[in-house]
Structure 1
Amino acid sequence: MQRFTQGFYGYVVAMAVCLVGVGVFLFVTPQSRTERIPRVDYSFDVANLRRDAPFPVWTPEPVPANWIPNSSRVTNQKGVVTWRLGFATAKRKHAMLVQSDEKPAAGFASRMANVNQAVGSVQIAGETWEQRYRKDKNQRSLVRLLPGSTVVVTGTAEWDELTALAGSLKQQPQATATPSATATATPAPSATN
């Protein structure tokens, strides 16, 4: 019995016991085989942008079928407002909508697309979008320069998915300021006899 607990045989027996233990643990532990993509609610960012952004805000309405919004981030650095809204597409590729009033607009678009050369243009919902492609990153981008802002739809998604996102964009109306709660009410006229 001693020869099975020392030396090489002891090592083999100890490894076999450990592997059996790990196998039993994996067998009895429930495992999820479903994909888990975090979902974010970006409605608060849209409401804040409608109120505070110095440019018209564009949002997907509706979000393309089976797409999951998984990131939303608004930054305001030195007076430059930028919104990034990311999606896992129906084909589980990445697509992102980016809007900003950064100047120069062409420089911002090139930075978001990771390339400064257009490969063509496409008409989407009656508007012309510039197409850009960076092969080594497998990144496709649609760029639209607007008065006062730049809109970029970019990612590893195929052109048809990026086109669907760009085609779903609707301009949101600016939020109106709410009346001040400290406004004084006009007193009711008094009755005279």
Structure 2
Amino acid sequence: MSSGGRRTDSTFLGYAIVLGAIALVVLVMTLVVDARREERIPTVDYTADALTLGEIAPYRAYAPEGLPEGWTPTSSRLETGGALPGGEPTEPVRWTLGFATPEDRHAAFHISDADPEEFIAEVSMDGEPDGESTVDGQVWERRYNETEGERSLVLRTDDATLVVSGGASYEELETLAGALEPQTPPQR
């Protein structure tokens, strides 16, 4: 009788060890999945680029202000046109500012004094005209590249071209366009 009890005890112990190992594997997998679910989107502070643009651009600079919660700035690239501090640019001045939207899509603001048609074709990915959007009383031309799923809003001013583009919906692009505010040039 005692040998049967030992066999039952060792069988139970074996099951307990296997069950414990399975529980440990499930726990580790849960922690890994949770860690990946909380993916961190890198953010950038674009204040310095916005200020520099306002100082060197031969046009009225714009920057987004007061975007709703959930808009995350992810990239900022300023091309100064070869201008040195206090000097005039020899090439077009261009700024591209990228965002992750609240809907986890990409949207970007582009501004430049480059040739408008070439600039629009480049940043809209050769998007075709797709109607209009009115944002804060200004009419923006819609462009759409169906192959890439790229939407754009285009506004031509007297001295620069503004484009808001990305895989975001027109509504999200309109939100970004509506947040663009003219920047006051610094006192010289």
Give the alignment's TM-score, normalised by structure 2. 0.76
Deviation sequence 1:149-171 (CA, Å, 0-9, x none) = 10000000011100111111111
CA contact (8 A) 2:61 2:182 kept: yes
User: Do residues 88 (structure 1) and 100 (structure 2) align?
Assistant: yes
Q: Share of identical aligned residues, percent?
A: 37
User: Do residues 56 (structure 1) and 60 (structure 2) align?
Assistant: yes
State how 1:100-179 maps to structure 2 within 5 Å: 100-103=112-115, 105-115=116-126, 117-177=128-188
Deviating 4+ runs (over 2 angstroms): 26-31
Greater share of helix: 2
How many residues in Structure 1 have an aligned counterpart in Structure 2?
154
CA contact (8 A) 2:127 2:151 kept: no
The whole-number CA distance in structure 2 between the counterparts of 1:70 and 1:64 is 15
Deviation sequence 1:7-63 (CA, Å, 0-9, x none) = xxxxxxxxxxxxx9xx96x93996413021000000000111111111111111112
User: Do residues 45 (structure 1) and 49 (structure 2) align?
Assistant: yes
CA contact (8 A) 2:108 2:166 kept: yes
Which runs of 5 or more structure 1 residues have no equivalent in the other structure? Answer: 1-19, 178-193
Which runs of 5 or more structure 2 residues have no equivalent in the other structure? Answer: 1-20, 82-89
Q: 1:106, CA displacement in angstroms?
A: 1.7
CA contact (8 A) 1:80 1:102 kept: yes
> What residue is the counterpart of 2:79 in the other structure?
75
The whole-number CA distance in structure 2 between the counterparts of 1:64 and 1:130 is 23
Q: 1:141, CA displacement in angstroms?
A: 0.2
The whole-number CA distance in structure 1 between the counterparts of 2:169 and 2:128 is 18
Change (3 A) 1:174 1:28: same
